[in-house]
Structure 1
Amino acid sequence: MTVIAPRRLELRDLKACAALFAQVFSTEPWSEPWGVDGALARLEHFHASPGFVGMLSLGDKGEVMGFVLGNLEPYLDCHLFYLREMCVASQRQGQGIGSQLYRALERELAERDVRAVYLATGRDIPAAGFYQGLGFRCSETMAFYAKGLKGD
């Protein structure tokens, strides 16, 4: 199956992306209980947020092979990009689709004078090695903090 060069992700693509997202992130190593409706709500939120940028990779029959998205953030005299989600079809992982998507994203961000990309991911999952292979490094000066909140 041929993969078409990545293009900008548009609103009309979100339902198909949500279906892929729910499928991929419901399996190992994430095993999160995503449904398509919840995934769609998350992706629509990012799409509607200021500074949205996303790229989409399709197969030759129009099926979504993967996507990457996030938001530009003003910082001093430039912009940073917070990569919020990246997803590649489970059966297509390891075939270069994710790298191709990320390179297309970097080209798009370079046109917008983005100076840095940052993201959060698990340290012990394959995604960490993937991002390191793209040149990402764990920050020595910054830390990611989280605090759970329980409802009444």
Structure 2
Amino acid sequence: MERIELRELHVDVIEEIKTFFVEIFTKEPWNDDWSNQEQLHAYIMDLIGNKNSLALGLFEDNVMVGLAMGNIKHWYTGTEYYIEELCIKREEQGRGLGTQFLKAIEGYIKSKGITHIFLQTERTVPAYSFYKKKGFVELTEHVSFIKEC
């Protein structure tokens, strides 16, 4: 019988987190170039190494199959879990683990008094329809900007 478990992750497992993250995001549909190890380490530390960081892993039979990394933010409408990265191991996708992971995250953050999940994704990736199916509401007035300097 498979055992699914949600665990809070910390800096002591950063190497496992980095390996998991790179295995997913360097392939389709993202094709991110995470070959710069210093940049990778700094990025993961930004997400898991701060006072308000919250990293969660979904484990099946003690093997990590899902990862969420982000920060707790206090806002006038309540405390939010701002997810920067959420992923399921590529070979495990399509088994309902993403749905289980989101339900587990929601239960966990509710127990901590957190009232909202905020995240961003691109319209052209499969995650967009997944989040819509799971009850996430697209913020039509919210705009993201970037400027290269």
Q: Check whether TM > 0.5.
A: yes
Question: In 1, distance between residues paired with 2:36 and 2:66?
Answer: 15
Q: Is the 8 A contact 1:19 1:39 kept in 2?
A: no
Partner of 1:111: 111
Q: What root-mean-square deviation, in Å, do the aligned CA atoms of Structure 1 and Structure 2 show?
A: 2.1
Partner of 1:55: 56
1:33 is the counterpart of 2:63: no
Unaligned runs of 5+ in 1: none
Relative distance call for 1:110 and 1:42 in structure 2 (3 A) is same
Deviation string 1:96-122 (CA, Å, 9 cap, x unpaired) is 222222212111211222222111111
Question: In 1, distance between residues paired with 2:15 and 2:36?
Answer: 8
Q: Is the 8 A contact 2:11 2:49 kept in 1?
A: no
Deviation string 1:24-68 (CA, Å, 9 cap, x unpaired) is 1111110111238343432222112232222212232x3321111
Matches within 5 A, 1:1-152: 2=2, 4-35=4-35, 37=37, 38-60=39-61, 62-76=62-76, 78-149=78-149
TM-score, normalization by structure 2: 0.87
Unaligned runs of 5+ in 2: none
**Moved >4 Å (runs of 4+):** none
Question: In 1, distance between residues paired with 2:48 and 2:41?
Answer: 10
Question: In 1, distance between residues paired with 2:20 and 2:132?
Answer: 24
Question: In 2, distance between residues paired with 1:114 and 1:137?
Answer: 17
Alignment length (residue pairs): 148
Deviation for aligned residue 1:3: 5.0
Relative distance call for 1:36 and 1:58 in structure 2 (3 A) is farther
Q: Is the 8 A contact 2:5 2:60 kept in 1?
A: no
TM-score, normalization by structure 1: 0.85
**Percent identity of paired positions between Structure 1 and Structure 2:** 24
Q: Is the 8 A contact 1:51 1:73 kept in 2?
A: yes
Relative distance call for 1:90 and 1:112 in structure 2 (3 A) is same
Relative distance call for 1:87 and 1:39 in structure 2 (3 A) is farther
